[in-house]
A and B are shown apart, each in its own frame.
Chain A
Amino acid sequence: MTDLLALTALEAHEAMVAGDLGAAEYTAAWREAAAGDELNAYLWLDEGGEEGRAIAVERDCVAPIAVKDIFCTEGVPTTAGSKILEGYRPPYTSTAVRKLIEAGAPVLGKTNMDEFAMGSSNENSAYGPVLNPWDRGRVPGGSSGGSAAVVAGGLAPWAIGTDTGGSIRQPAAFCGIVGLKPTYGAISRYGMIAFASSLDQCGPLTRTVSDAALLLGILQGRDPCDSTSVGLEGGVSLPDREDLSGLRFGVPVELGRDEYDSGVRAVFEQTLKKIEDLGGEIAEVSLPSSEHGISAYYVIAPAEASSNLARYDGVRYGMRAGGDGDLIEMYETTRSEGFGAEVKRRIMLGTYALSSGYYEAYYGQAQKVRTRIAEDFKGAFDQVDFVVTPTAPSVAFELGEKTDDPLAMYLNDFFTVPMSLAGIPAISIPAGLAAPEGGGPELPVGFQIAAPAFAEQPLLDAAYALEQRIGFDARPEGLGG
């Protein structure tokens, strides 16, 4: 059993295709592992037995997968981590999940997340926080915290999540796995419950860069149901690059030393040396507007969210409360009881930013900053192939450490938000371990690599070469080395 679970998704896929591995046996081993979830990482498991599966897959030949509970799946509970959608069973399936099913990947279950993907710690789930498999007193990151925890915690071979301002990359970094946010438009958003529509993007959370490439290849593509989807021309090949010679990696000069922990900095600097060992060149680039990324993001994302979340009104789906009063009273009671504190905060922020008299000062200005940030990256990519930063300013923090200070929580997205605003792809790979600032056992540190729009293939190739050189093989205690 243990040997089966040690295979990467790519190794398992190749063994199944070659006939050396029985899909039924392999999937059963993972279903058993998933059933042992002690991290509160799954919200729902497809436990009907092989005959009674809620999500039918005709032909298993791809590793089974965990799906963030933001993807609508026909007949299967889909909550987006919110009480307002408790018991909701969508009448249709998202394109991302449909593609997984068609490729032959059985769905193990739906994973826990920050409510409507708003959060960086998974503490905003209406169904309780997910625990970090490295240290159960710490957060797994968010908002795709459940998807990261199941992969790192040996409860799924791989998973999908969504990233609006860092929600794949930051939890991947906190859990010591690979997380890829593709270019906006690479993967269809159809059936993915909307948070901030101009930023939301689906992507893989995996053990290895090769697994991320395999999964991206399955998920990408233009979809008539999402007019903003364009796919990746030429598809995705498995990476096999061994060196980085001829490639230039830009480090933003604006990366002030005050913005991140010394342990994270040490791992970041060691990783830059490894890039040079492989023949890559390190250069300085300037992204002068990126320091305003958080400000622009926390106007644009809440503004879009306040509009998207207007649909939860107790009429067509989801919970209803206060139905004995008039219509407005029902709306207000339903929304006040159904939404958690962070979602209310962002709806308020977004409604304020869009309200009469403030629109230009906030939303209009933030959209202009967004243009500047995209231009900064374009300028940088004239000089270098990639831009690199730490993924997060710290290692995984303690449960409850930042819940009383929303701004401190938001600043945690400092390194990931600019790429989201520019719509470009970025990957986080585990680069080493560092002790938390306040002391304690060492935890994973992520290294972020960003590339120009639609340059997923060179990004994956470079990340693969670096991954081999880093040789990260640490695992959470109890899961072996």
Chain B
Amino acid sequence: MIEREQVLHVARLARLRLSEDEVETMVGELSGILEHVDRIGNLDLEGVEPTSHVVALENVLRADEPRPSLPRDVALGQAPEPEDGAFRAPSPQAE
């Protein structure tokens, strides 16, 4: 159903690093689930509108007025490594 290579590819897309055991388990479990889910693949749903949202709402707008927002120190207060009023993260490129 789903191959080891696909699992590794999807894990990369999802920013997950899986251990060898996890990859093994994931191949089996995802295959089982997808086999069940695949039943809907054979249904003839030509012309059926997809539902992305159940409540019929259109253009919910509000006045574009400035409102108070979180102070900077509060917004940074839960960050693992705040620095100089900013979120600090490792460099995108290894040194």
- Chain A interface (Cβ within 8 Å of chain B)? 88-92, 183-185, 198, 224, 227-228, 230, 292, 294-296, 298-299, 306, 310, 313-320, 323-333, 335-336, 339, 341, 344-345, 347-349, 351-352, 355, 361-362, 364-372, 374, 406-407, 410, 421-423, 453
Contacts and interface: CB of A to CB of B under 8 A. Distances in A.
A348 B16 contact: yes
Interface residues of B, number: 53
A367 B90 contact: no
A185 B56 CA distance: 10
Contact of B80 (A230, A320, A326): A320
13 contacts: A198-B53, A298-B33, A318-B78, A323-B90, A327-B92, A328-B92, A332-B15, A335-B17, A344-B16, A348-B11, A369-B40, A374-B54, A407-B33
Contacts of B55: 183-185, 228, 230, 423, 453
A294 B14 contact: no
A91 B74 CA distance: 7
B45 A369 contact: yes
Nearest to A336: B17
B94 to A, nearest CB: 4
A198 B75 CA distance: 27
Majority DSSP secondary structure for residues of B touching A: loop
Contact of B90 (A319, A330, A366): A330
Interface of B: 2, 6-7, 10-11, 13-18, 22, 26, 29-30, 32-34, 36-41, 43, 45, 48-55, 57, 60, 62, 70, 74-75, 77-81, 87, 89-95
A370 B51 CA distance: 6
A365 B44 CA distance: 10
Contacts, number: 172
Closest 9 CB pairs of A and B: A423-B54, A367-B50, A320-B80, A317-B78, A227-B60, A368-B45, A326-B94, A332-B17, A370-B51
A230 B57 contact: yes
A345 B54 contact: no
Contacts of B29: 345, 406-407
A361 B7 CA distance: 18
A371 B33 contact: no
Nearest to B37: A295
Contacts of B7: 348
A362 B37 contact: yes
Contacts of B30: 345, 348-349, 352
A371 to B, nearest CB: 4
B49 A371 contact: yes
B84 to A, nearest CB: 15
Contacts of A306: 14
Contact of B87 (A315, A324, A348, A421): A315
B53 A228 contact: yes
Contact of A318 (B18, B80, B90, B91): B80
Given A327-B91, A332-B15, A351-B14, A92 B70 contact: yes
Contacts of A295: 36-40
Contact of B40 (A296, A314, A341): A296
A351 B13 contact: yes
B80 A329 contact: no
Contacts of B94: 325-326, 329
B37 to A, nearest CB: 5
Contacts of B81: 320, 323
A369 B52 CA distance: 11
A368 B78 contact: no
A344 B30 CA distance: 11
A345 B17 CA distance: 12
Contacts of A371: 48-51
A347 B14 contact: yes
A134 B82 CA distance: 47
B10 A367 contact: no
A89 B79 CA distance: 11
B37 A326 contact: no
A366 B43 CA distance: 10
Contacts of B14: 306, 335, 347-348, 351
A296 B32 CA distance: 15
Contacts of B34: 349, 352
Nearest to B48: A368
Contact of A316 (B49, B78, B92): B78
A135 to B, nearest CB: 28
A185 B11 CA distance: 33
Contacts of A317: 78-80
Contacts of A310: 15
Contacts of A328: 15, 92
Nearest to A348: B10
Given A317-B78, A374-B54, A406 B17 contact: no
